[in-house]
Structure 1
Amino acid sequence: MQKIALITDSTCDITKDLIEKYNIHVIPFRIIYSNREYRDGVDISAEEVYLNLENEVPTTSLPSLLDMENLFDKLEGEGYTHAIAVTVSSGLSGMFNALRLVSLERENIKCHVFDSKTISLAEGGIVLKCAEMLKENKSFEEIIEALPKLRDRMECYMVMATLKYLKKGGRIGKISGTIAEALNLKPVIRVNEEGVYDTHDKVRGRKQSIKRLIEIVSKFEKPGEVYVVHGGAEEEMKFLADQLQALPNVKSVLLGGNTTPVCGVHSGPGLLGFAYLVEE
């Protein structure tokens, strides 16, 4: 009989209550300050990261190999025979390759490591669908067969209140970022099919950027489920969720919390994003 563990990383942005409900095993990224290192979402919260950004913008790194090894040791000790791991996009992080290499060393657990080619609650949405399939007693083989189709049906878009931290982190050119800020331009960012960030559009001002997110969802031809997430912008997230829930093509809206600190380091406060899972 198969005993299947569900693994992901801390960029998935799944709330703690859902992690506990579905017994999801989350491997934390690392947040590194000049004098201390933290485990993402374990030793430090997104709120704490945002509050300290004016003093120091930390760096981020992959989870430690020890954390990965310890997780597999724990799973083996609990009698798991199989594991399904869904990771942040390989186009944005080395997590997929690192976890795959660790899993290959494990002879007692048959593990499938899947590249979500996305991030945040788009990645998390795939994980939650896997969790639902596990609840339905789907087999290891059935779930891994469904994963590519889930990925193909998932869209991810986001906007940010400021480009300041993308510039500091080297995620955007300083000159182009400064010009955009001077013109009050807000890029609407999409995670594309290759699993990397792509500028979908540019609008002027915060209100217009949120309006554009709503417009994007309204134009999906097929009905779908929406997952929304924020970074220090809870009230705006609730407004966005209410607007999306009123759209005829939206079947349901799942409210996330603050995006993981490892994402917050680069986005800064004011991130709003959604994932849209197109109906089959």
Structure 2
Amino acid sequence: MMKNTEIALIIDSCTDVPEDLIESYGMYVVPLTVNYRDGSYLDKVTITPQQVYDRFAEEIPTTSTPSPASAKEVFERVVADGFSKAVVVTISSGLSATYELLCSTAGEYPELDTVVADTKNIGMGAGLSAIRAAKLIEEGVPFEEMAGRMADVVENTKVYFCVDTLEYLHKGGRIGLVTFAVGSLLDMRPVISCNEEGVYYTVSKARGRKQSLRKALSVAEKFAAGFSECAIAVVNGDAVDEAEEVLASMVAEVPNHSAVYDGQISPVLVVHTGPGLIGIGVQGIA
């Protein structure tokens, strides 16, 4: 558990933090939901990324925000564990209603002073902000400063990702029809990130998989170069070998990194991106 016993850290399951760090920092996780025709599953709790891949041939599921009941269950645990303050870190409000849900849930617990940070990011982009929050809490940063500090963290954190096919983002309503049609026809692969509103946008385009990964590396390295110190992360969706190569490149080309993370994306993100995602996260440490 964290050394600072006053402040709890609550995250949602799409704020992708490696499992060992969730445990070592004692983070509380509110799971999103993966919905199939035959029932719903709790993200990372009752369903794994591999189970989603295995069922793609028969059904592409939908996803939804955490249920109010599961959000309340986590807040109840935080209060029962004796915390009087909490920092809540969520995926982008521009991509999910999870932020709004956790804000309203926090309002139901007046005994718990709460700061809710909208990362304007997804996956490991949001995960890097959660890890930074854990470190700030551990360092003993006063609760009154956490909102301001987290605003800086969010501003200094980016994720760049490449998907193997645009089909899943398109089916989930996450990209426009024109982008999908042109991308499919010419094998144009966008490098996608989140803008200041926390909504997906195309950073650059390249023809074919290898070129798009190269472009993603290039923009990530450029962002990292703007800081004296940074944390880097590479996550994947059923693309472990490629992810290892990309991570090796980042480690070699970003000499100012002080922390490196890797891992698989959550089942909910698998639903929206399909197999073959590579995500590169960069966080400047002020």
Alpha-carbon contact 1:188-1:202 (below 8 Å) kept:
yes
Aligned to 2:103: 100
1:219 counterpart SS class: helix
Amino acid at match of 1:163: L
Offset at 1:42? 0.6
Q: 1:273 aligns with which of 271, 279, 282?
A: 279
Offset at 1:167? 2.3
Offset at 1:175? 5.3
Aligned to 1:222: 226
Amino acid at match of 2:246: L
Using the TM superposition, name which of 119-128 and 169-178 deviates more: 169-178
**Is residue 234 of structure 2 the alignment partner of residue 233 of structure 1?**
no
Aligned to 2:66: 63
Alpha-carbon contact 1:2-1:139 (below 8 Å) kept:
no
Aligned to 1:34: 37
Amino acid at match of 1:233: A
Q: Distance in 2 between matches of 1:234 and 1:65?
A: 34
Q: Distance in 2 between matches of 1:250 and 1:264?
A: 31
Give deviations 1:166-197, integer Å, cap 9, x for gaps. Answer: 22222234454133112111111011111100
1:137 counterpart SS class: coil
1:108 counterpart SS class: coil
Q: Distance in 2 between matches of 1:253 and 1:52?
A: 35
Amino acid at match of 1:271: L
Q: 1:131 aligns with which of 117, 130, 134?
A: 134
Offset at 1:250? 4.1
Using the TM superposition, name which of 233-242 and 177-186 deviates more: 177-186
Using the TM superposition, name which of 101-110 and 58-67 deviates more: 101-110
Alpha-carbon contact 1:2-1:82 (below 8 Å) kept:
no
Aligned to 2:198: 195
Using the TM superposition, name which of 111-120 and 172-181 deviates more: 172-181
Offset at 1:249? 4.4
TM-score by length of 1: 0.95
2:14 counterpart SS class: helix
Q: Distance in 1 between matches of 2:267 and 2:254?
A: 33
**Is residue 46 of structure 2 the alignment partner of residue 43 of structure 1?**
yes
Alpha-carbon contact 1:244-1:250 (below 8 Å) kept:
no
Q: Distance in 2 between matches of 1:47 and 1:239?
A: 21
**Is residue 265 of structure 2 the alignment partner of residue 259 of structure 1?**
yes
Aligned length: 280
Q: Distance in 2 between matches of 1:250 and 1:24?
A: 27
Offset at 1:161? 0.5
**Is residue 160 of structure 2 the alignment partner of residue 157 of structure 1?**
yes
Amino acid at match of 1:262: V
Unaligned runs of 5+ in 1: none
